[in-house]
Amino acid sequence: MYVTRELPGDALGALRGEHDVEVWPESTPPPADVLRRRVADADALLCMLTERVDAALLDSAPRLRAVANCAVGTDNIDLDACRARGVAVGNTPGVLTDATADLAMALMLAAARRLPEGVAEVREGRWGPWNPGHLLGLDLAGATLGIVGHGRIGRAVAHRAAAFGMTVVHTSRSGGLPLGELLARADVVSLHTPATPETRRLIGEAELRAMKPTAILVNTARGSVVDQAALRRALHEGWIAAAALDVTEPEPLPATDPLLDAPNLIVVPHVGSATHRTRATMAALAAENLLAALAGRPMPHPVP
């Protein structure tokens, strides 16, 4: 069995109790050629979103029976290629809902109250006398939150926003407002859609121009949902007031990427699930998937 990163919690101990386990020792992903060599004789692979599991990798691993993604998403895995080869695939659904919803609220608050600007002023010695017009932001109480994608995480964000006194509207495949109407009404737009061909560049120039010039965009979904070139223009030209992103395209985003020179922008490095409890639970679910598959049982958390 090959595991592409050290894991928090007791997941590796559970795997080693029943199987021989090799773990990539670095904190960065294994290079693609290294991954191919390591899985060549493996029966199972526990990987992250950073590893591409495609037909070429599968062809190099004829013994592979199971892949466990330590993530909810599976856009790094060619599911059709796995099905064609009889390789079971599992993920870790549900466990990161609260952590990601908390981060969405944190980004919303940070952008609304302009916290990064305030922190920078203090650290750089620019904290001047109190001024009644300085660093004014958005009151969340009474504001309208538009949620794009009303799954587990979207609903969890809606629950939190209601406690802040926000009016919540949503759009999704199952109902709610049309996207255009939501964008025009919302003071904050929070994205919670999966990465699919239909959601790629869902928020582009037309959608950003449809938002209020005082509105904030929050993305904790996938970077591909937003046209980053259009977002850069929107922030420079004032189509919207601010944006806060946990996800980008690509990841990691190079420090030289033009998006990062945009004003009123917060970018954090895909930390939506980054709590001790959440990451340990994700690792445990991934381990359970592999242990079940290698024992000839259905994975408890399979990807259809």
CA 125 to chain CA mean position, Å: 34
Helix (H) or strand (E) holding 55: helix 55-59
Look up 251 and say whether it is catalytic.
Answer: yes
Look up 222 and say whether it is catalytic.
Answer: yes
CA 116 to chain CA mean position, Å: 21
Helix (H) or strand (E) holding 169: strand 167-172
From the list 19, 22, 251, 276, the catalytic residue is 251
From the list 232, 270, 279, 301, the catalytic residue is 270
From the list 5, 222, 232, 301, the catalytic residue is 222
Torsion angle of C-alpha atoms 186, 191, 196, 201, degrees rounded to 10: 60
CA distances from 255 to 119, 200, 204, 217, 245 (A): 20, 23, 22, 21, 15
CA 139 to chain CA mean position, Å: 26
8-state DSSP, 298: P
Question: What is the spatial distance between Cα 67 and Cα 61, in angstroms, rounded to a whole number?
Answer: 11
296 contact partners, CB below 8 Å, separation of at least 6: none
Question: What is the spatial distance between Cα 47 and Cα 35, in angstroms, rounded to a whole number?
Answer: 10
Beta carbons of 2 and 22 less than 8 angstroms apart: yes
Look up 270 and say whether it is catalytic.
Answer: yes
Question: What is the spatial distance between Cα 91 and Cα 66, in angstroms, rounded to a whole number?
Answer: 11
SS3 for 215?
Answer: coil
273, HSE (Cβ side, Cα atoms, 13 Å): 21
Beta carbons of 243 and 208 less than 8 angstroms apart: no
Residues annotated as part of the active site:
222, 251, 270
